Structure 1
Amino acid sequence: MAGRGSRLRPHSLTVPKPLIPVAGQPIVHRLVKDIAKVLKQPIEEIAFVLGDPAWFGDDVVTSLEDLAKGLGAKASIYRQDLPLGTGHAIMCAKPSLSGPAVIAYADTLIRAEFDLDPTADSVIWTKEVENPEAYGVVKLNDNQEIVELVEKPDTFVSNQAVIGIYYFKDVAVLKGKLQEILDENVMNGGEYQINDGIKRMMADGKVFKTGTVDEWMDCGNKSITIETNQRMLGFLKEDGEEELIAASSKLENSKIIEPCFVGENVVLKNTTIGPFVSVGNNTIIENSIVKNSLIQTHTSIKNANLDNAMIGNHVKYNGDFKSISIGDYSILE
C-alpha cells in the first residue's frame, strides 16, 4: 500500500488511498477482514508495505496495528522508498516472507466464499469478466491449473481476470524467485514485477490454481469508489452484521433511505439522504438531498442536491452543484 493513489486525487492528497473510508471503514481494513473470512484459519502476522513516513505517518501505523490486533495478529511495518513495482514492494517485507501467506494490493475490495485448494502450491484469485482483453488474465490447462499469465490479450485466453490477491503455500519460494529477479535486474516497464517471480515458479512445476471471487470492487478513482461504496452498502445491509446507522446520529425533520452508513454524531436537518450514501463522523447536513455519495468526517453541507458526489474531511460546502469531488479542508460557500 505504498502508492500515492494519484487517480483518486484530491482525496488521496491528504489521506493515503487505502485509508479512505468506504461504507464507514477504510479500504484496507475492509480488505484485510474480508480475506480473513475467506481463509477461515488463524492469522499470525499482517505485514504492511508503506511509503514515505512523511505520508504514511504514526497515525497510519497505529491504525494498521489496531487492525492486526483486532484479528489476533501482530503487525509488521515495512517501507518502500522508491516506486519500483510489485515485486520490489513484496521484497521490502523480506523478513516476513516465510510459510503460508496471502499477498494483496490494498486498493480493491472483494466478496468471496471458497476453500483454498490443498493440492495447489499457490492460488491466484480471479473474477470472471465480460471484457478480458482489458485485464491481465490466467491461461488454464485441462486440469484447470494456471499455466500462463497474459496481460490484456488480443485473442481470447480466458475470462478469468487477475484481481491482485495471491495465496502461497510457502511464500519463501516466491521470495527466492523475486530475489533472482532483483539480482538479475529483470524489469518490465521500469519495475520489478510479481508476475516474473510467479512465472519462474511455474517453470519449476509449481501448481497454481484459481480462487474465483463473487464480487470485485475497485477504488481507483472517484466514480469507481462511489460505485464501490454503493455496492458495499448493499452487501452490508443484506448481511446485517454491521450497525450502519450510529445511535448518536440526530435527525431533525429528516429521512434516511437505506442502505446508508451514518457515523457517530452526524446531524441531519431538513434533509433526505439515500439510498447509497455514507456520511462520516461529526458531519452536519442541512436543507439538502443527498444520494449515491460519499461524505467524510467533520464536514458541513448546506443547501445541496448531491448525486454521485465524493466530499472529504473538514469541508464546508454551500451550493447547488450536483456531481462533485471535493478534497479535505476545502470551502465552497
Structure 2
Amino acid sequence: MQAIVLSAGKGTRMRPLSNEVPKPMLPVAGQPITAHTAEAAVEAGADELVFVVGYGEEIVRDYFGSSYRGVPVSYVVQDEQQGTADAVHATKEHIDGPFSVLYGDNLYDPEGIDRLFDAAPSIASIRVSNPSNYGVLNVSDGAVTEISEKPDVPQNDLVNAGAYVFPEEARDMLDVSPSERGERELTDVLDRVISEFTVSPVTLDRWMDVGRPWELLEANEWKLGTLDRRVDGEVSDDATIQGSVVIEDGATVRGGSVVEGPAYVSEGASVGPNAYVRGNTYLAPDVHIGHAVEIKNSVILENTNVGHLSYVGDSVVGRNANFGAGTNVANLRHDGEDVELTVKGERVSTGRKKFGVVVGDGVKTGINTGLHPGVTLSEDARTDPGEIVAHDK
C-alpha cells in the first residue's frame, strides 16, 4: 500500500520555530515529527512513501532521500496551498492501488495505524472530551455514515483523527470544488467514499496534531517516554544518569551533572559541569548546557548555548541561540491561570499551568536576563544585561 504523507505546510502557528524549517521537520525525541509518521506507516506495511512537499521541501528531501527504512520514497510538489484534497490530488499519477493519507505534522500510535491499514477502507478516530471542536464520526452497524464538522450538538465523542485508507477508486474523486473557506477539502472526498463504500472506523489509542509550540513540548513528552535507555556518549564517572536517557555517540556529560529520564542528549551536545537536565528534555545536536545550568521539560534546538547559572523550564528554544549567564525563565503565573502565548497575532491559552518561553533562531540574551512566562522572542532578538522581558520582543 502507498502511504501519502502531507508535509507541505508552512506551519504559521508554530512561528518563529518554523521560520526556517517546515513544521513537520521539527524534532520530536530525536527525529522529525514526520519521520514518526513515516515510520508508523512502514511498520504497518506501506510499500512506498509519497511525500507531498512545498515550503522547505529540500529539508524533507535531504532527510528521507530516495529510500527510508527500506521503502522507496517519492516526492510531489504542491506549489500552492489550496487544501488537503488538492495536496492528495497532486499525487494522482503515483496512485496505483489502495492508498493511505497521513499528516506529516500529526503523531499516531503505531499500533493504531497498523489496525487502520488492516481495516481498509478506513478512517482513524479518537475519543475526545470536546468533540464540538472536531469532525464527529457518525457510525451505524460498524461503518461510518457521516462526518459532522464541529457540530453544536455532537452525537458522540468519536472524532476524525486525520488518517485514512482509501480504495483505489478514490483516485478519481480527488478533484473537488473549493469549500466556503476557499480550499479543496479532503473531507469532501471522504463524504463521497463513505457514500459508495463501507468505511470502517478505527479508534487510535493516542493521536496528536502538533500545531503550536506547546504541543511540540507535549509531543516530546509522549515520544521520549517510549524510548529505551541508551548511553553511547562520553559520561564522566562523576555524573549521574537516571532512568530512560538516550545519550548519543559524540555527546558529553561532564562531572557533577545529573540527567534524569526521560531525556535525549544528541550527538555533539555537551552538558555541564554540574548541570541538571530534568525529565522530558530534548537537546538537539551541538547544544551546549553550561556550568550549573538547570533545564526542565524543554526542547533546545541545534547549536544553542545556555550559559552558566541559567534556568530554562517548559520552553522551546530555537537554533543558534545564546543565553547569557544567569538568564532565567519564569514558567508559572502568580494568579495560577494557564499561561498564554501569542499565536498568529492573538494571545491564546496554552492549557498549561507551567509554560515558559518560545525563542526563535539566533536570539541572544544579555547576562541576568529574566523572561516572563508566555513570552516569545522573535528570530535574532536581543536583550540587554539585566533586562526583564514581560512582553513579546
Q: Which residue of 2 aligns with 1:250?
A: 252
Q: Secondary structure at the match of 1:12?
A: coil
Aligned counterparts of 1:295 and 1:117: Cα–Cα separation in 2: 34
Q: Which residue of 2 aligns with 1:320?
A: 328
In structure 1, which of residues 181, 184, 199 is the aligned counterpart of residue 191 of structure 2?
199
Q: Which residue of 2 aligns with 1:330?
A: 363
Q: Per-residue deviation at 1:70? A: 3.0
Asked if the contact 1:121/1:207 (under 8 Å) is kept, the reply is no
Asked if the contact 2:313/2:329 (under 8 Å) is kept, the reply is no
Aligned counterparts of 2:68 and 2:51: Cα–Cα separation in 1: 15
Q: Per-residue deviation at 1:238? A: 8.8
Question: Normalised by the size of structure 2, how large is the TM-score?
Answer: 0.76
* Matched ranges for 1:4-19 at <5 A: 4-19=10-25
Q: Secondary structure at the match of 1:3?
A: coil
One-letter amino acid matched to 2:253: L
Q: Which moved more, 1:104-113 or 1:229-238?
A: 229-238
**Alpha-carbon distance change, 117 to 191 in structure 1, aligned in 2, over 3 angstroms:** closer
Q: Which residue of 1 aligns with 2:287?
A: 283
Identical aligned pairs, as a percentage? 27
Q: Which residue of 2 aligns with 1:167?
A: 165
Asked if the contact 2:28/2:220 (under 8 Å) is kept, the reply is yes
In structure 2, which of residues 214, 217, 223 is the aligned counterpart of residue 226 of structure 1?
217
Q: Which residue of 2 aligns with 1:190?
A: 182
Aligned counterparts of 1:238 and 1:94: Cα–Cα separation in 2: 42
Q: Which residue of 2 aligns with 1:149?
A: 147
Tell me: higher relative CO, structure 1 or 2? Use CA pairs within 8 A at least 6 residues apart.
1
Ranges in structure 2 where 5+ consecutive residues have no aligned partner: 1-6, 232-243, 331-355, 367-393
Q: Which residue of 1 aligns with 2:172?
A: 176
Q: Which residue of 1 aligns with 2:263?
A: 260
Q: Which moved more, 1:211-220 or 1:143-152?
A: 211-220
Asked if the contact 1:218/1:225 (under 8 Å) is kept, the reply is no
Q: Which moved more, 1:252-261 or 1:43-52?
A: 43-52
**Alpha-carbon distance change, 162 to 331 in structure 1, aligned in 2, over 3 angstroms:** same
Given the alignment of the two structures, is residue 216 of structure 1 paired with residue 207 of structure 2, yes or no?
Answer: yes
Q: Per-residue deviation at 1:81? A: 1.3
In structure 1, which of residues 18, 40, 50 is the aligned counterpart of residue 53 of structure 2?
50
**Alpha-carbon distance change, 94 to 118 in structure 1, aligned in 2, over 3 angstroms:** closer
Q: Per-residue deviation at 1:60? A: 2.8
One-letter amino acid matched to 1:139: N
Q: Deviations over 1:2-24 (max 9, x none)?
A: 11001111000011111111111
Asked if the contact 2:117/2:165 (under 8 Å) is kept, the reply is no
Q: Secondary structure at the match of 2:93?
A: helix
Q: Which residue of 1 aligns with 2:316?
A: 310
Aligned counterparts of 1:100 and 1:36: Cα–Cα separation in 2: 15
**Alpha-carbon distance change, 175 to 188 in structure 1, aligned in 2, over 3 angstroms:** farther
Asked if the contact 1:144/1:209 (under 8 Å) is kept, the reply is yes
Given the alignment of the two structures, is residue 294 of structure 1 paired with residue 299 of structure 2, yes or no?
Answer: yes
Aligned counterparts of 2:323 and 2:266: Cα–Cα separation in 1: 19
Q: Which moved more, 1:113-122 or 1:100-109?
A: 113-122
Ranges in structure 1 where 5+ consecutive residues have no aligned partner: none
Q: Secondary structure at the match of 1:189?
A: coil
Q: Secondary structure at the match of 2:193?
A: helix
Question: Normalised by the size of structure 1, how large is the TM-score?
Answer: 0.89
In structure 2, which of residues 57, 75, 78 is the aligned counterpart of residue 77 of structure 1?
75
Aligned counterparts of 2:24 and 2:249: Cα–Cα separation in 1: 27
Aligned counterparts of 1:64 and 1:158: Cα–Cα separation in 2: 39
Aligned counterparts of 1:120 and 1:218: Cα–Cα separation in 2: 23
**Alpha-carbon distance change, 65 to 243 in structure 1, aligned in 2, over 3 angstroms:** farther
Q: Deviations over 1:185-216 (max 9, x none)?
A: 34341011111111112222x01111111111
Q: Which residue of 1 aligns with 2:61?
A: 61
- Which segments of structure 1 move beyond 6 Å, counting only runs of 4 or more? none
Aligned counterparts of 1:120 and 1:36: Cα–Cα separation in 2: 16
RMSD: 2.2
Aligned counterparts of 2:118 and 2:296: Cα–Cα separation in 1: 47
Q: Per-residue deviation at 1:164? A: 1.0
